[in-house]
Amino acid sequence: MNFLLVLPNQKFKVMRVISTRAHGVLDYLVGMLLIASPWLLNFYRGGAESYVPIILGIVIIFYSFFTDYELGVVKSVPMAGHLTLDVLGGIVLAVSPWLFGFNDYIYKPHLWLGIAELGVVLLTDRTPYVSRERKGPGEYSRPRDHHHA
């Protein structure tokens, strides 16, 4: 799927190049990275600069567990809801240094990881493979052979 991003006098076509399966892998990896980032990037001080990424990492792993996509376990959160949470989390992470007043100490990891999260949302396919192939509640079919009608 594609969508158009319209800016004054220009149109950009953005390809949805990240599958929901790949997005799921990124969710769990980024969640763990965010939890570990205060120590990995050596900015742990025990304040908001540390707790914002830790809490956001836990929250990402939590709602990924419940998302209706290939790597979800409970499959109760629709993909659209998941991506909305990703957008909100990316915005909060990106602005958190200024929102919580630690930008004089550190801001780059929060800003760049937040922007990256927003970029991943823009590039992610909206329809999980499992939803496209679902036969009934909780039932999934095999991939269709697109070479034969």
Overall domain count for the chain: 1
Q: Distances in Å between the alpha carbon of 111 and those of 1, 35, 143?
A: 28, 16, 39
Amino acid 15: pLDDT: 81
Is the pLDDT at 149 greater than 50, yes or no? no
List the single range of 9-13, 24-28, 35-39 with lowest mean pLDDT: 9-13
Its domain, for residue 117, covers 29-125
* Residue 96: Cβ-neighbour burial (10 angstroms; 0-12, 13-18, 19+): buried
* Confidence at residue 16, expressed as pLDDT on a 0 to 100 scale: 84
Q: Is residue 59, in this structure, part of any structural domain at all?
A: yes
In a domain, 78, yes or no: yes
Kindly tell me if the per-residue pLDDT of 136 is higher than 60.
Answer: no
pLDDT of residue 127: 87
Residue 1 falls inside a structural domain: no
Residue 117 falls inside a structural domain = yes
Q: How many CA atoms are closer than 13 Å to the CA of 89, on its beta-carbon side?
A: 29
More confident position, 142 or 96: 96
- Tally of CB atoms within 10 A around 43: 19
Q: Is residue 14, in this structure, part of any structural domain at all?
A: no
| For range 4-24, the mean pLDDT | 74
Whether residue 135 is predicted with pLDDT greater than 80 in this model: the reply is: no
5 lies in some domain: no
pTM as predicted: 0.79
pLDDT: which is higher, 133 or 54: 54
Determine, yes or no, domain membership for 109.
yes
Over residues 55-109, the pLDDT tens digits come to: 999 999 999 999 999 999 999 999 999 999 999 999 999 999 999 999 999 999 9
Task: Report yes or no on 113 lying in a domain.
Answer: yes
Question: How far, in Å, CA of 143 to CA of 98, rounded?
Answer: 47
